[in-house]
Amino acid sequence: MTHLVYPGALHTRFQHVIGAMHLMGLAIETLRGKDVQISEEEEEAVLAAILLHDVGHGPFSHSLEHTLVEGVSHELISSLLMDKLNIEFTGRLDLAITIFKDQYHRRFLHQLVSSQLDTDRMDYLNRDSFFTGVSEGVISFDRIIKMLNVKDDELVVEVKGIYSVEKFLIARRLMYWQVYLHKTVIAAEQMLIKALARAKELSNRGEKLFASPALEHFLLNRINKETFLLDESHLTWFTRLDDTDIMSAIKSWADHPDLILSKLCGKIIRRELFRTEMSNEPFSESYLEELRERVAERFGLSAQEVGYFVYDQVVGNSAYDSSTGKICVLDKHGELKDIAEASDLSNIEALTKRVNKYAVTYPKEIGYITQHQHTIINI
Amino acid sequence: MTHLVYPGALHTRFQHVIGAMHLMGLAIETLRGKDVQISEEEEEAVLAAILLHDVGHGPFSHSLEHTLVEGVSHELISSLLMDKLNIEFTGRLDLAITIFKDQYHRRFLHQLVSSQLDTDRMDYLNRDSFFTGVSEGVISFDRIIKMLNVKDDELVVEVKGIYSVEKFLIARRLMYWQVYLHKTVIAAEQMLIKALARAKELSNRGEKLFASPALEHFLLNRINKETFLLDESHLTWFTRLDDTDIMSAIKSWADHPDLILSKLCGKIIRRELFRTEMSNEPFSESYLEELRERVAERFGLSAQEVGYFVYDQVVGNSAYDSSTGKICVLDKHGELKDIAEASDLSNIEALTKRVNKYAVTYPKEIGYITQHQHTIINI
Amino acid sequence: MTHLVYPGALHTRFQHVIGAMHLMGLAIETLRGKDVQISEEEEEAVLAAILLHDVGHGPFSHSLEHTLVEGVSHELISSLLMDKLNIEFTGRLDLAITIFKDQYHRRFLHQLVSSQLDTDRMDYLNRDSFFTGVSEGVISFDRIIKMLNVKDDELVVEVKGIYSVEKFLIARRLMYWQVYLHKTVIAAEQMLIKALARAKELSNRGEKLFASPALEHFLLNRINKETFLLDESHLTWFTRLDDTDIMSAIKSWADHPDLILSKLCGKIIRRELFRTEMSNEPFSESYLEELRERVAERFGLSAQEVGYFVYDQVVGNSAYDSSTGKICVLDKHGELKDIAEASDLSNIEALTKRVNKYAVTYPKEIGYITQHQHTIINI
Amino acid sequence: MTHLVYPGALHTRFQHVIGAMHLMGLAIETLRGKDVQISEEEEEAVLAAILLHDVGHGPFSHSLEHTLVEGVSHELISSLLMDKLNIEFTGRLDLAITIFKDQYHRRFLHQLVSSQLDTDRMDYLNRDSFFTGVSEGVISFDRIIKMLNVKDDELVVEVKGIYSVEKFLIARRLMYWQVYLHKTVIAAEQMLIKALARAKELSNRGEKLFASPALEHFLLNRINKETFLLDESHLTWFTRLDDTDIMSAIKSWADHPDLILSKLCGKIIRRELFRTEMSNEPFSESYLEELRERVAERFGLSAQEVGYFVYDQVVGNSAYDSSTGKICVLDKHGELKDIAEASDLSNIEALTKRVNKYAVTYPKEIGYITQHQHTIINI
């Protein structure tokens, strides 16, 4: 939904994986130039792994990840689809899958696909920066790649590249707060999620809603991880879903007699997006309660239904999370250090902190509640 | 369908009109700097006119222009929608509409919206060039705009800008042949047109096809210019249609029992596009006949049905068509000349020729018919 | 002197040859991908040839080519310097020199260095376009390179690349008229040439002028092709000359007692450049005479000396000169055609015409002579 | 000398001030759009101030700032030149000079010219980043400018711009360490400084060296702040100096009989630059002593002369130095905070630390001294 804030951001996951595969090719070329042996088979496998790493994403990706199907991550779906393709290719994806699952002994190949400094992030930061016009996200991917090396089968970065990596971490943080977690973007995403949830609820009550065959499958069936794995048809239907199923349905539901559904869909279509307030501290329960009461009154909603129109959430991000994997710096003596220690500027240490913000989203029709004392930030 | 050849080409008409409006702003600023009087009201009107000039395009624009509705041009629909908006804005669009229809005495304002050197073309050439990566289409819009002037209420270009305008005409010609009329693009467009036509035919026979409510309206009703103007509901439904209605239907129709429909739709979805051959001379009737026979046999089609799978057409373009309006050059003595005469290089004269090419499109399954003698060009 | 009109144009010949060598690398890679055999030795040689092809240029390159030394072309000096380097490298440049001189049987290697479609032109057009900001000069070098092929040891271009080549020819023509032959650029160049000529004249009369040792060598000695080849010290001094010798002298000469020299130098330094008028027809002798008289009177010059302040010249260019080598197009049947015939649009034919313009340059102090009837063009 | 490491970095101070003036224009437009009153006179003055703010820089700018003239800063010379121009313009620069000297009561005008967030820095960071290709230096100047505001006549930045400013500070730091203080750049600069110092020493001993008249003036005269202010001819000669005087002399001095001078100059010309080692801790005196001994022995230098070939220095930078002026953030309640406090991420606090590194530079001929235990960093 980012394009509702940054109109240029219409690029697709297809473009992204082509780009990430291109960066992977550059990384392989660089590493081979430093006498890291990578066989033809390993090259093909790691290129296939990055090409397919996002294949399990459904329409609107993260926004709808837990709406259409409960508790089934896109990584699991990617994995299932790779297995299906592997059968089609009679085992030729064996090594790609092993690398993707981090079960290959040369761990740097997996780290090039998925780690704190992978070709996935290098591509999406630059791509999103380019298409949104938020130039803060530009990173020097070519220089970072040139600084990559391998030590004991782990991916490392040479000390000369330390500033470029620092810049990369900072760029990622800025993109989170200015783009991915932009207050209007998260408003639009929540509205979409709630519209789908409402449609699912109505369908389960037996109401007939317009939907493409694929979307209808997910509206009518309650699918969780267990059932998803048991019945292969779910995966087949999932691959037929894309953004056009969702958006053509949303357009049609804007005329549905259910007021909650039609309100949400109509407002999405006409870009009458809810207001999001963000704060560094949690909103008081009394403030949230007042918001909910006003919204309930204004739109004639029950206490239960108001959750379709008022959302409070915690959004957060840490630029560098050393608990889930480190970025190792190789110094001139061949020794490794965590980048947070290697930097002489203590900056990266600051980046390891997780930053959380509190967001509440509600229809603009109710105006502002002026008496509250929160420090509203507005980025 | 251009994105099937140039994957970056996902930009929208919305981005285009915002861009064209931006160029219009620059043009107004330039002209005022040359003491051309443009009132506040005229400025607002011409900005509104360019913002709305494409509002009547339906999904897939030119491709489907005469498929969903017969004989109703997008210009007519733009005009009808502007009239509706004008009622909503209580007449504030009066002047914009007058300019759009070329009924205003200061003709340069219309020419900035629509002529051989309008802000529409300046925007789309650069935009399409950028998103396809075909750098031949880049034009120096800022310089062209700086060279614009007005003489006797007509838009003219100063003699210093003659090379930039020549470059603009050539860029436009290159974009036609390398992008808009690219052989694979025209294959995909024809396949889409024929799929819709087949769906309409089946619907009219009483078959039930999946379609969004808006698309269903156009599948079930035969609408021509007369009926379109008589019944306002057609226009209302038209505004609800967009690409998602078409593509979600195409995906679903790939499973339809009708072989023609499912073949066309399945091939579009899987990007198994037909082959297009292009030639400077017409294809011989015997060659076309042989193609049709082979296709009919291969796919089990009647003579009537083969037209869904074999298309022959003439595609053409003239870079500078002086019969529909000229580009006038203002020399240092204040005199006007047609650009084709003013150029000292006789190049532009060459650009006035209309160039036609002959294209035939058919499924690759039938292979090549080797004996034919056409000079196949392949750009 | 182009930077006096386009301030960004400060890029150097060093940057250019690095760029051209990069394009050569891409061309080799493309040709090898099409099964054109190119040995390691040939690759090194053609890369060395393009790297060194401009090494014989002196300061201000074309402007001063025939001022410091008479009748010694930069190609000859390049050749002499390559021979010297070859001795240093004990013969390792043998093949590079053979290719550079077009004495190698695989002529396409020479054509990649020097022809109507060489990597030299591809680099300088894009580079000059980039640094001047004249976007008309942008060419699609990557696409042209991808379309290159070899047939019977000659460089050819595949028919799919015909529009890109046409665009390349047009871009080159536009760059000539908008940049290289820009009226203010040719004024500045002539002023520089005449300042050097005057300094040489004064030196030969025995006057002492400030000059670096290298520049002094060329001011004091009258060197022509014969003496240049006989006495190796001329070449050695030539390699020590660069723009800084010229410009530090020009600055100092602005204070010289000779009025002609100090006027020219002072005006160059303060960017008080002469006016150039350009016309499609020759200027009448009477007009030129009147200009000379006014200038002589205004600046107190003799009839002989007025040539330092009034310059008339013919400047010309043909975008595609088939008499000095053709661009051959390879069609799908493996046959070759001259591009001027292969184009279906007769455009390129127009580009083969040589276009001449007439330029006269003189100090602005004398104002305009209004009665003349020339069509002044002003691009 | 940066172009010896980044060959594209040939841009000039002229381009920079034109660019900074352009940004100033944008800043004025933005502030006026926020109802900050700026009169026509103030606008002209602040544009003139930024245009002239660097006019006092001599050749090679910071490198030679204290070599040609002792104890005379470029700011002082800028100020003297503005005063001279002001006489020429009969007082029209009065306000520009008042703003430049920070004596105008509306301090934000001075802060736009010179502060931690001025248009000077915004221009040079982006420009240097562009021409070196170090993309880490790219900043979002347009967004920062849009976020500027004025409160109580002080320049402030709105809270929405906090990430862009943070990015700006980080970009500046990265540019310092990767470009301005690059180890090879500081080697070249020191070599140039020492060559000039040697030339000055030789001149003062009575040796005749080639030099342009302007350079000769500064070689022969020992000029300090007092004498510079007393004798106006120093300023006049200073304005005649530029890079061409220095480089044409350096080239000629490469043949000088003095071994120290000719060695330094020859190595600069042939790009045989000394090696720089950088460390986070000071080098031990014994290590430096050993370097000096080896160099003295290798080149036959006295203990006094070895300083021409071995340089040790401390280089340092703080990205944000709140002691010399703050960046104030304006929150939504209209209150001001220092950016180091306003950032929720404590990152900027880290940027306030001054970081020093220790650098030692010496000829590569002496090889490495392997036994030392310094942590050599090599960026």
Residue D327 is which amino acid? I
B316 forms beta bridges with B356
CB D159 within 8 A of CB D331: yes
- Predicted confidence (pLDDT) per residue in B291-303, tens digit: 999 999 999 999 9
Can you tell me the distance from the alpha carbon of B68 to that of B196, in angstroms, rounded to the nearest whole number? 8
- The alpha carbon dihedral of B103, B104, B105, B110 has a sign of negative
Can you tell me the distance from the alpha carbon of D116 to that of D138, in angstroms, rounded to the nearest whole number? 17
Can you tell me the distance from the alpha carbon of B315 to that of A244, in angstroms, rounded to the nearest whole number? 31
**Interface mutation vs chain B, best among C166, C168, C332, C347, most B CBs within 10 Å:** C347
Which residues of chain D have a CB within 8 Å of the CB of A160?
378-379
Mean pLDDT of B131-149: 90
**Are D160 and A379 an interchain contact pair (Cβ–Cβ within 8 Å)?**
yes
Contact with chain B for residue C288, Cβ under 8 A = no
Per CATH, the number for D183-271 is: 1.20.1250.30
Question: A141: distance to nearest CA of chain D, Å?
Answer: 9
DSSP state string for D145-211: HHTEEEETTEEEEEGGGHHHHHHHHHHHHHHIIIIIT-HHHHHHHHHHHHHHHHHHHHHHTT-----
**pLDDT at A233 (0 to 100):** 95
Mean pLDDT of D90-111: 97
Domain A186-273 CATH (choose: 2.60.40.420, 1.20.1250.30, 3.40.50.20, 1.20.1270.10):
1.20.1250.30
DSSP single-letter state for residue B51? H
Average pLDDT, chain B: 91
Of A14, A242, A243, which has the smallest distance from its Cβ to B7's Cβ?
A14
Contact with chain C for residue B344, Cβ under 8 A = yes
**pLDDT at A370 (0 to 100):** 65
Mean pLDDT of B154-171: 89
**pLDDT at C378 (0 to 100):** 43
Which residues of chain C have a CB within 8 Å of the CB of D240?
251
- Predicted confidence (pLDDT) per residue in C125-136, tens digit: 999 999 999 887
Checking if the pLDDT of D370 tops 70, the result is no
Which residues of chain A have a CB within 8 Å of the CB of D375?
331
**pLDDT at A62 (0 to 100):** 79
CATH superfamily name and code, B2-181+327-352: Hypothetical protein af1432 (1.10.3210.10)
Can you tell me the distance from the alpha carbon of C242 to that of D247, in angstroms, rounded to the nearest whole number? 10
Can you tell me the distance from the alpha carbon of D250 to that of A169, in angstroms, rounded to the nearest whole number? 44
Q: If you search the block for the tokens 């006026």, which residue do you land on? A: D32
Ranking A170-179, A231-240, D141-150 by mean pLDDT, the lowest is A170-179
A229: its two tokens: 């794995």
From B178, which residue of chain C is nearest by alpha-carbon distance? Answer: C163
Q: What percent of chain A has pLDDT over 70?
A: 95
Nearest to D30 by CA among D45, D48, D43, D44: D43
- Predicted confidence (pLDDT) per residue in D219-275, tens digit: 999 899 999 999 999 999 999 999 999 999 999 999 999 999 999 999 999 999 999
CA D40 from centre of chain: 32
- The alpha carbon dihedral of B335, B340, B341, B344 has a sign of positive
Q: What percent of chain D has pLDDT over 90?
A: 73
- Predicted confidence (pLDDT) per residue in A68-114, tens digit: 888 899 999 999 999 999 999 999 999 999 999 999 999 999 999 99
DSSP single-letter state for residue C324? G
Domain B274-318+354-379 CATH (choose: 1.10.569.10, 3.10.129.10, 1.20.1250.30, 2.40.50.90):
1.20.1250.30
Which residues of chain A have a CB within 8 Å of the CB of D126?
none
**pLDDT at C140 (0 to 100):** 85
**Are B353 and C344 an interchain contact pair (Cβ–Cβ within 8 Å)?**
no
CB C56 within 8 A of CB C239: no
Question: According to the 3-state scheme, what is the secondary structure of chain A?
Answer: CHHHCCCCCCCCHHHHHHHHHHHHHHHHHHHHHCCCCCCHHHHHHHHHHHHHCCCCCCCCHHHHCCCCCECCCHHHHHHHHHHHHHHHCCCCCHHHHHHHCCCCCCHHHHHHHCCCCCHHHHHHHHHHHHHHCCHHHCCCHHHHHHHEEEECCEEEEEHHHHHHHHHHHHHHHHHHHHHHCCHHHHHHHHHHHHHHHHHHHHHHCCCCCCCCHHHHHHHHCCCEHHHHHHCHHHHHHHHHCCHHHHHHHHHHHCCCCCHHHHHHHHHHHCCCCCEEEEECCCCCHHHHHHHHHHHHHHHCCCCCHHHHCCEEEEEEECCCCHHHCCCEEECCCCCEEEHHHHCCCCHHHHHHCCEEEEEEEECHHHCCCCCCCCCEECC
Of B7, B8, B212, which has the smallest distance from its Cβ to A248's Cβ?
B212
**Are C167 and B344 an interchain contact pair (Cβ–Cβ within 8 Å)?**
no
Can you tell me the distance from the alpha carbon of A182 to that of C132, in angstroms, rounded to the nearest whole number? 39
Contact with chain D for residue A128, Cβ under 8 A = no
**pLDDT at D378 (0 to 100):** 43
Contact with chain B for residue A210, Cβ under 8 A = yes
Domain C193-273 CATH (choose: 1.20.1250.30, 3.40.50.1370, 3.40.50.300, 1.20.120.420):
1.20.1250.30
Which residues of chain C have a CB within 8 Å of the CB of D15?
7-8
- Predicted confidence (pLDDT) per residue in A269-284, tens digit: 999 999 999 988 899 9
Portion 2-31 of B in contact with A at CB < 8 A = 7-8, 10-12, 14-15, 18
Mean pLDDT of C27-49: 97
- Predicted confidence (pLDDT) per residue in C57-106, tens digit: 999 987 788 888 888 989 899 999 999 999 999 999 999 999 999 999 99
Which residues of chain D have a CB within 8 Å of the CB of A377?
159, 332, 344
Mean pLDDT of D199-203: 96
From C249, which residue of chain D is nearest by alpha-carbon distance? Answer: D212
At the top level of CATH, which class does the domain B183-272 belong to?
mainly alpha
**pLDDT at D149 (0 to 100):** 96
Q: Where residue B163 falls among pLDDT bands split at 50, 70, 90?
A: confident
User: What is the topology classification, in CATH, of domain D2-181+319-353?
Assistant: Hypothetical protein af1432 (1.10.3210)
Question: D166: distance to nearest CA of chain A, Å?
Answer: 9
Question: D235: distance to nearest CA of chain A, Å?
Answer: 41
- The alpha carbon dihedral of D187, D189, D190, D195 has a sign of positive
Can you tell me the distance from the alpha carbon of B274 to that of B328, in angstroms, rounded to the nearest whole number? 43
Q: Where residue D344 falls among pLDDT bands split at 50, 70, 90?
A: low
Nearest to A172 by CA among A355, A370, A368: A355
- Predicted confidence (pLDDT) per residue in B76-117, tens digit: 999 999 999 999 999 999 999 999 999 999 999 999 999 999
- Predicted confidence (pLDDT) per residue in A37-66, tens digit: 999 999 999 999 999 999 999 999 877 888
Which residues of chain A have a CB within 8 Å of the CB of D138?
135, 138
Which residues of chain C have a CB within 8 Å of the CB of D242?
247, 251
Mean pLDDT of C226-250: 95
Which residues of chain D have a CB within 8 Å of the CB of C255?
213
**pLDDT at C370 (0 to 100):** 65
Angle at the Cα of C197 (from C194 to C199), degrees rounded to 5?
110
Residue A26 is which amino acid? L
| C-alpha separations of A340 from A206, B238, C85 in Å | 56, 58, 50
Q: Where residue B378 falls among pLDDT bands split at 50, 70, 90?
A: very low
Checking if the pLDDT of D326 tops 70, the result is yes
Domain C2-181 CATH (choose: 1.10.1040.10, 3.30.830.10, 1.10.3210.10, 1.10.10.60):
1.10.3210.10
Higher-confidence position of A350 and D167: D167
Spatial neighbors of D159 by CB under 8 A, at least 6 apart, are A377, A378, A379, D329, D330, D331, D332, D342
Between strands A154-158 and A148-151, the pairing is antiparallel
**pLDDT at D379 (0 to 100):** 43
Can you tell me the distance from the alpha carbon of C360 to that of C358, in angstroms, rounded to the nearest whole number? 7
Mean pLDDT of C264-280: 95
Higher-confidence position of C292 and A67: C292
Mean pLDDT of C196-206: 96
Question: B148: distance to nearest CA of chain C, Å?
Answer: 15
User: Where in chain B are the domains?
Assistant: 2-181+327-352, 183-272, 274-318+354-379
Domains B183-272 and B274-318+354-379 share a fold: yes
- Predicted confidence (pLDDT) per residue in B179-223, tens digit: 999 999 999 999 999 999 999 999 999 999 999 999 999 999 989
Q: Where residue A378 falls among pLDDT bands split at 50, 70, 90?
A: very low
Ranking B73-77, B127-131, C146-150, D317-321 by mean pLDDT, the lowest is D317-321
Of A136, A160, A166, which has the smallest distance from its Cβ to D140's Cβ?
A136
Task: Establish whether chain A is in contact with chain C, requiring a minimum of 3 CB pairs below 8 angstroms.
Answer: no
Ranking B16-25, B322-331, C46-55 by mean pLDDT, the lowest is B322-331
C370: its two tokens: 């209004």
Spatial neighbors of D343 by CB under 8 A, at least 6 apart, are D162, D166, D349
Write down which chains contact chain A via at least 3 CB pairs under 8 A: B, D
Contact with chain C for residue D212, Cβ under 8 A = yes
Please tell me whether the interface predicted TM-score (ipTM) of this complex is above 0.95. Answer: no
